[in-house]
Amino acid sequence: MTSDISIRTEGRAGRITLTRPKSLNALSYDMCKAIAAALYAWDNDPAVHLILIDAEGDRAFCAGGDIAAIYHQGKAGDYAEARQFWADEYRMNNRLATYAKPIVSFMHGFVMGGGVGVGCHVKHRIVGDTTRIAMPECGIGLVPDVGGTALLAAAPGHLGEYLGLTGARMDAGDAIRAGFADHYIAESAWDDLKTQLIETGDITALTATLHPAPEASLTLKQDLIDELFSADTLTALFDRLETNSSDFAADTLKSLRHHAPLAMATSMTLIRRQRPTPDLKDALTWEYRCTYRAQEQGDFLEGIRAQVIDKDRTPKWTHASPADLTQAEIDRMIEPLGVHELRF
């Protein structure tokens, strides 16, 4: 068992606690496998009535995946381990979403990328005053993954494109509005609630603790987001942002100019493909096609270099602007993988 995660049973509950606070509880492959193993072990355990997922430290539930190792592997031409990690992680994400017993996630602080995959697909998703949820993958040359495109597609209007392309952070109110969380509970009440759930194994203890959700700032921006992000293509979106006189459009354009055009255009395609009937397995399958190719074909390694390795914050993307992109390049990222397609 890795020391980066604590798996145990307490009372009537299975407990999963991420224990890498100095690394913002970044999700490693070993942690992913430990979660999957625990879910299988508790599936038919009559002593476990429900499962609680939380994390140590004040700053983060889980701020993403452990990507530095993926960078070094990719630069050495070794793509196999990252591809296996993503495949097993996505299967674990789907397992969390479809689990027969109630799972409650307590998401404080930063919840990003891989943290969304652990905390935002379960049946009971709790957020508090410190919660900041985001899908910032386009900023490192990747598409929103871990089933994120299904969540983004289900968000009201065109919030999905806005949140997925910009990586904008959601507080508790925004996360509930966008469908990434269910309940707001003041974090001062979390320990007592966990104690009740552990002692009783009764999920109804949760509903007795709920607090009114904070107002969602995204509600005030919804009409403008819909107007801008309903653009047919990434190039058309940039055109709309450039001609719109609002401060919001100017700030959004500044953010998007830092992100990888190929990742943003591919993300738009994935989100819109999911929108009619969001389906987690389907989303994970299409996301895996992108992540499978990300080290070898996309901008992912350059994005990690700029943000995590060298920290110069000046990535040199394959395409200087959306106008340099071709549809064929987008299609190439999401075409079927044949024998390497993700299996559940």
Q: Is pLDDT at 166 greater than 80 in this prediction?
A: yes
Nearest Cα neighbor of 136 from 277, 289, 319, 304 is 304
Residue 2: band (very low, low, confident or very high) from pLDDT cuts 50, 70, 90: low
β partners of residue 132 = 110
Q: Strand, helix or coil at 119?
A: helix
Q: Where are the domains of the chain?
A: 1-344
CA 84 to chain centre: 18
Q: Is pLDDT at 294 greater than 80 in this prediction?
A: yes
Residues 27-45: tens digit of each pLDDT: 999 999 999 999 999 999 9
DSSP per position, 23-80: GTTPBPHHHHHHHHHHHHHHHT-TT--EEEEEESSSSEEE--B--HHHHHHHHTT--H
pLDDT at position 14 is 98
Place of tokens 């914050």: 313
Cβ atoms within 10 A of the Cβ of 35, count?
24
Q: Which CATH number does 1-344 carry?
A: 3.90.226.10
Percent of all residues in the chain with a pLDDT value above 90, rounded to a whole number: 94
Q: Is pLDDT at 1 greater than 60 in this prediction?
A: no
Q: Averaged over 129-142, what is the pLDDT?
A: 97
Residues 67-100: tens digit of each pLDDT: 888 999 999 999 999 999 999 999 999 999 999 9
- Alpha-carbon distance of 131 to 106, in angstroms, equals 10
- Alpha-carbon distance of 331 to 333, in angstroms, equals 5
Q: H/E element holding 7?
A: strand 5-10
- Alpha-carbon distance of 258 to 264, in angstroms, equals 11
Residue 324: band (very low, low, confident or very high) from pLDDT cuts 50, 70, 90: very high
Q: Let me know: does 68 contact 306? Beta carbons within 8 Å.
A: no
Its pTM surpasses 0.75: yes
pLDDT at position 67 is 87
pLDDT at position 188 is 96
Q: Let me know: does 161 contact 152? Beta carbons within 8 Å.
A: yes
